[in-house]
Structure 1
Amino acid sequence: MNTTQATPVIFIHGLWMHSSSWDNWVELFRANGFDAQAPGWPGDSATVAESNANPEAIAGVGIDQVVEHYAGVIRSLGSKPVLIGHSFGGLIAQKLLGMGLAVAAVAIDPAQIKGVLPLPFVQLKNALPVLGNPANRKRAVSQTPKRFHGGFANAVSEKESNELFARYAIPAPGRPLFEAATANFSSKSPAAVNVHAVRGPLLIIGGGQDHTVPEVTSRAAFALYAKAPTVNEYRVFDDRGHSLVIDHGWREVADAALDFLARNGVVGQTREAQPAQAARLGQTARIGESAEV
């Protein structure tokens, strides 16, 4: 007998963001019938204030540790979730999708996975304060309001940027940045993703004004999926920076994610048997075809 259940959704934040940065998204997806939650990274505290007061708790945490943490969350669920990740959370979401642990994924301004070659100057400039000191690999590193506005929330006003910084910003481990930066020189990089796996649909979203993960980097990640046997789509928001999931325009991005899921048969309230969705998973989106570029 078919039984109705809510499709789980796991939101994964990136560096310098607390899991509460997903609160608006969690509320919206729950209103659309999904069982949504936003667990923090291993070492994150329950609140922004506690995380800022205890930065050493997350120092040294790397990509593999974060992947295993979220894999554990997924294993505790009754069914495979949708994964929605931003920045390094987008990299984590892609890894978990390639491991067969998710029904679909949306990677927003994702940190570069192994195989992505472009490294724009603006991206290098924003990463240098961390990468310029090898000791940061084992440290937790904090942002400043000025750096946050210059690299993270550069597409919004300084006033809004400062408000976002005060509300959501926390220290982040430096190690993932080092792992991503050296990915193409390591045969066993934790930033490697199985881009040829048979799995659920993937949407990659880029921000045209992003200074942390420039749009060319997001597009290059999408290009790696060109021969994947499953649905892959790309969309760019030309006027948006890296803060596109938390700033005043977040709803437009969230609606794009909901639309992508609906078009691929992934809805909030589902039945155990979904032949229409299974058929969609065999489709392929190529660059310049069904994908939005």
Structure 2
Amino acid sequence: MKTINSKTVLFVTGNFVSHLGWNAWQKYFEEQGYNTLAPAWPFKDGSPAELRAAHPNKDIASLRLNQVVDYFESIIKTLPEKPIIVGHSMGGLITQLLLQRGLAEAAVAIHSVPPQGVITFKFSFFKATWGPLGLFTSANKPFLMSFPQWQYAFTNGMSLADQQKAYNENVIPESKRISRDGLTSAAKIDFKKAHAPLLFIAGSTDNIMPASLNHSNYKKYKNSESITDFKEFDGNNHFVLGLPNWKQTANYILNWLKN
């Protein structure tokens, strides 16, 4: 396996949730000798409570996928080295797009939103994504996930108290345009192109991004000279970053980077 020398980790947040959800991950990776950053998306640099109170925000509603990918590229270009990019959900797709641009020393896509053309017919996927896509609603108003939607898409299997705590601490409004862009050429990946090492992480109980969908994403990569790996964790839902066993996922990533 290629030696990964970078000590900079860029964490990329996904849809619907605050960048502050990476706080524990940043501290843990820094304890292992890495320098980390987890920037907020444009117009989202505030606490979840503040951002929910300001809903609907027209600037958030205006966000597009290419805009956010370009934003992270601009951050990467200020760094002293190519980072290890670790993204969750839509942040996983953004990670794949940044990797395609040659901007990563290595990349990890956690429960990633699939690129254009990678599909599933699982009912849970359609049920969980129907609200965020809002196909018959105006894109000029951002989407704020309701608590029942959060329970199904992110925190299924958790206690009611833990689900509510997670909602209060994480959920923020999201651009419908971002979600819809995931279905367009803005989310296109050249699966034959050589790339830096890439690890996919999936969870067996994820409703919104099922493990089988993550596996299909992984299997699309065809460059025989590039490293692409896959790991599924039993019992993990989409709230993988904040589950009690999050260090199990983090340690797997750290060992993958070292070995």
Same fold (TM over 0.5): yes
Structure 2 unaligned spans of 5+ = none
Match of 2:123 in 1: 121
Structure 1 unaligned spans of 5+ = 184-188, 264-293
Q: CA deviation at 1:229?
A: 2.4
Q: What amino acid sits opposite 2:251 in the alignment?
A: D
Q: 1:254 and 2:250 equivalent?
A: yes
Q: What amino acid sits opposite 1:14 in the alignment?
A: G
Question: After the TM superposition, which residues 35-74 of structure 1 pair with which residues of structure 2 at under 5 Å, given as runs?
Answer: 35-55=35-55, 56=57, 57-74=59-76
Question: Deviation per CA, 1:29-74, whole angstroms, max 9, x where unpaired?
Answer: 1111111010011111232222222341311211101100100110
Q: What amino acid sits opposite 2:13 in the alignment?
A: H
Match of 2:86 in 1: 84
State the distance in 2 between where 1:63 and 1:28 align. 29
Pick one of 106, 109, 119 that aligns with 1:107.
109
Question: Deviation per CA, 1:140-173, whole angstroms, max 9, x where unpaired?
Answer: 1111222111111103222211111111111111
Match of 1:23 in 2: 23
State the distance in 1 between where 2:141 and 2:114 align. 21
What's the TM-score once normalised by structure 2's chain length? 0.93
Match of 1:230 in 2: 226
Q: What amino acid sits opposite 2:44 in the alignment?
A: D
Determine helix, strand or coil for the equivalent of 2:186. coil
Determine helix, strand or coil for the equivalent of 1:27. helix
State the distance in 1 between where 2:76 and 2:43 align. 18
Taking a change above 3 Å as real, the CA distance of residues 226 and 196 of structure 1, as seen in their structure-2 partners, is closer
Q: CA deviation at 1:130?
A: 3.1
Contact 2:6–2:84 (Cα < 8 Å) also in 1: no
Question: After the TM superposition, which residues 197-216 of structure 1 pair with which residues of structure 2 at under 5 Å, given as runs?
Answer: 197-216=193-212
Q: 1:134 and 2:136 equivalent?
A: yes
Q: What amino acid sits opposite 1:119 in the alignment?
A: F
Contact 1:211–1:242 (Cα < 8 Å) also in 2: yes
Structure of greater Rg? 1
Determine helix, strand or coil for the equivalent of 2:61. coil
State the distance in 2 between where 1:54 and 1:24 align. 26
Taking a change above 3 Å as real, the CA distance of residues 169 and 41 of structure 1, as seen in their structure-2 partners, is same
Q: CA deviation at 1:248?
A: 1.3
Number of positions where the alignment pairs a residue of Structure 1 with one of Structure 2:
253
Per mean C-alpha deviation after superposition, the further-off stretch among 53-62 and 70-79 is 53-62
Q: Could you list the runs of 4 or more consecutive aligned residues of structure 1 that deviate by over 4 angstroms after TM superposition?
A: none
State the distance in 1 between where 2:40 and 2:68 align. 9
State the distance in 2 between where 1:27 and 1:195 align. 33
Pick one of 153, 159, 165 that aligns with 2:161.
159
Identity of aligned residues (%): 28
Match of 1:13 in 2: 13
State the distance in 2 between where 1:108 and 1:217 align. 12
Q: 1:192 and 2:194 equivalent?
A: no
Contact 2:200–2:218 (Cα < 8 Å) also in 1: yes
Determine helix, strand or coil for the equivalent of 1:245. helix
Q: 1:33 and 2:33 equivalent?
A: yes
State the distance in 2 between where 1:27 and 1:74 align. 20
Determine helix, strand or coil for the equivalent of 2:239. coil
What's the TM-score once normalised by structure 1's chain length? 0.82
Contact 2:134–2:176 (Cα < 8 Å) also in 1: no
Q: CA deviation at 1:258?
A: 0.7
State the distance in 1 between where 2:134 and 2:71 align. 28
RMSD (Å) for aligned C-alpha atoms: 1.6
